[in-house]
Amino acid sequence: MLIKSADFVTSAVKPSQYPPADLPEIAFAGRSNVGKSSLINTLVNRKRLVKTSSTPGRTQLINFFRVNDAFNLVDLPGYGYAKVPAAVKRQWGPMIEAYLQQRETLQAVVLILDVRRTPGDEERNFIAWLNRYGLPVILALTKADKLSKSKLSQRRRVISQALTQDSENLLLFSAKTRQGKEDIWRAIEQLLYAENR
């Protein structure tokens, strides 16, 4: 994918604050601190378009970015162990759910998983939920730079079993080495203009 422009559009917590639904959209979801924001920066060849942090729970709003004036990438707040007040946390589920359910231009969700961690019920339920809403899922296994080649293929097998997904559907990625960037773009491009909702 040739990136001509990538711009922040807006942050939102509820549908009335979303930007106009005039471009196809791809959303990025995953556990807090897994590397969602870093992955988006890597895809658009930018270091700091999206704020990243070593503190989990950095992204607390739905952030919209417009790429090439042709489509939007959407950074969703992470779920899981974020160190945020309980009151804020309680709003997250409904905030993300409303977005996934109501955003008519949403074409697919990239679910980002740490390649070192075996996914559990949370991830399985999330995938099942997306399937129910007819939303295609791209599975990205990030932080691949942290493991050796042999360890990576072993982790890929374990994760594919835990999620009952073919291991070819699991895309290895690293924000550090940019491994897998083009694989993810290819998967996104296939779904961007598909009529699937």
Determine the Cα–Cα distance for residues 191 and 151; give it in Å rounded to an integer: 30
Q: What is the arrangement of strands in the sheet containing 25-30, beginning at the earlier edge strand?
A: 6-12, 62-67, 71-75, 25-30, 106-114, 137-142, 170-172
Residue among 27, 32, 127, 170 that touches ligand GTP (CB under 6 A): 32
Q: Which stretch binds ligand GTP (CB under 6 A): 51-59, 63-71, 83-91, 119-127?
A: 51-59
Q: How far is the CB of 179 from ligand GTP (least distance, A)?
A: 8
Q: CA 88 to CA 7: how far, in whole Å?
A: 27
* Closest CB to Mg ion among residues 112, 135: 112
Report the interface residues with Mg ion, using CB under 5 A: 36-37, 58-59
Distance CA 121, CA 119 (A): 7
By CB under 6 A, the residues from 58 to 77 that bind ligand GTP are: 58-59
The whole-angstrom separation of Cα 53 and Cα 27 is 19
The entry of ligand GTP, Mg ion, none that residue 5 binds, CB within 5 to 8 Å by partner kind: none
Among residues 25, 36, 49, 170, the one that binds ligand GTP under rule CB under 6 A: 36
Could you tell me how many residues make up the chain? 197
Residue closer to Mg ion by CB (options 45, 131) is: 45
Cα→Cα distances 181→38, 104, 142, 172, Å: 12, 26, 11, 9
Site string for ligand GTP, 116-155 (x = CB under 6 A): --------------------------xx-xx---------
